[in-house]
Amino acid sequence: MSTLPVVVAVDGSEHSLRALDRALDSARRRGAPLRVAHVRHHLAWMPPGAPVVVPPPADDDPVLADARARVEAAGTAGAGPSAQYLALDGAPGALLPELGAEAQLLVLGSRGRGGFAGLLLGSNGMTAARDAECPVVIVPPPGREVDDLLPSEPGARVVVGLKADAPDDATLALAFTEAALREARVQVIAAYPWPIQTWVAPGDLGLPVYDQDAVEHETRTLADGFLTAHRTRHPEVPVEVRPAPGDAAGLLVAASKNADLVVVGRHRRRLLAPARMLGSVTHAVLLHAASPVAVVPPAAAEE
């Protein structure tokens, strides 16, 4: 049985070259082959009546040639994965998610060569994160500043968000797998709302009183229960559970500072919203996190 590759899309931009470096590292750690794809979309934008320009074959594609040279140069420092180079012609928004159908991971830069300079995340990356069948890792540009709301001890760290009322096993599984591969600890961010908003019936004399320490303890207890199976599968991975009051997106973005990876889940489909969605927390983390972000699709049964 063949091992599925780690797939990365390149277009010659600095964003995609950072994604290539990340994909190469991931392929090495996973013992997986590397597949480098260049989606050439200029034909899709040719005006009617314009002369047809035949793109060069994959062997002569300058973007893939540069990527090959970068991979081969990195391989001189140690054994590298086997690599395949693929040139595709069409719309990236349609073809990039399809690349995830036969991949362990799909790795993309935060935006491509054609993106506007002010964009935090290009539309193709957003589409792939929403539609691909495998986890999608988005590599941000260096130097993003985030609030230091959750200072952490130094050391390799994979951050994952956990909803105590709706845990996502696929997201937790990827976080533990990545932590094991990177000899990192898992930092679980379990956000809880505070202050708790309640409805009061007309005529009631006062609001119910909630003890924040009790809410935090309950959140930690629930989180520890959901993590038991993953701890059993990865006993070598240290785990840090951080219950914290506030907005989950803001806490995950803050935790991304100096992290190796932030892992978030993609929205499950809803009865009244059957289309695939990213969800507001995942969307915000993709736009603002300082570290690479992995978006994990739900299990097939949940889709």
Q: 157-296: which CATH topology?
A: Rossmann fold (3.40.50)
Amino acid identity for residue 174 in this structure: L
Indicate the DSSP class of residue 290. S
The pLDDT of residue 118 is 43
Please check whether residue 135 is in contact with residue 279, taking contact to mean a CB–CB distance below 8 angstroms. no
Residues whose CB is less than 8 angstroms from the CB of residue 280 and which lie 6 or more positions away in sequence, other chains included:
249
CB < 8 Å & 24+ apart, contacts of 148-153: 148/254, 148/257, 149/250, 149/251, 149/254, 150/189, 150/242, 150/244, 150/251, 150/254, 150/255, 152/187, 152/240, 152/255, 152/257, 152/258, 152/259
Residues whose CB is less than 8 angstroms from the CB of residue 156 and which lie 6 or more positions away in sequence, other chains included:
179, 182, 183, 184, 185, 260
The pLDDT of residue 117 is 44
The pLDDT of residue 207 is 53
CATH architecture of 6-139: 3-Layer(aba) Sandwich (3.40)
Residues whose CB is less than 8 angstroms from the CB of residue 183 and which lie 6 or more positions away in sequence, other chains included:
156
Q: What is the pLDDT along the chain (303 residues), one digit of tens a residue?
A: 468 999 999 999 999 999 999 999 999 999 999 999 998 875 544 555 555 445 556 567 899 999 999 999 887 555 678 999 999 988 888 899 999 999 999 999 986 555 444 444 567 888 899 999 999 999 998 888 888 777 788 899 999 999 887 788 999 999 999 999 999 999 999 998 776 655 555 655 555 556 888 888 999 999 999 999 999 999 999 999 999 998 899 999 999 999 999 999 987 544 444 445 567 899 899 999 999 999 999 875 454
Indicate the pTM of the whole model: 0.84
The pLDDT of residue 136 is 96
Q: What is the pLDDT of residues 147-183, one digit of tens each?
A: 877 778 889 999 999 988 778 899 999 999 999 999 9
Comparing CA positions, the residue from 112, 131, 105, 138 lying closest to residue 41 is 112
The pLDDT of residue 272 is 45
Domains in the chain: boundaries? 6-139, 157-296
The pLDDT of residue 1 is 47
3-state SS assignment for residue 131:
helix
Task: Spell out the alpha helix ranges (H) of 31-91.
Answer: 62-75
* Same fold flag, 6-139 and 157-296: yes
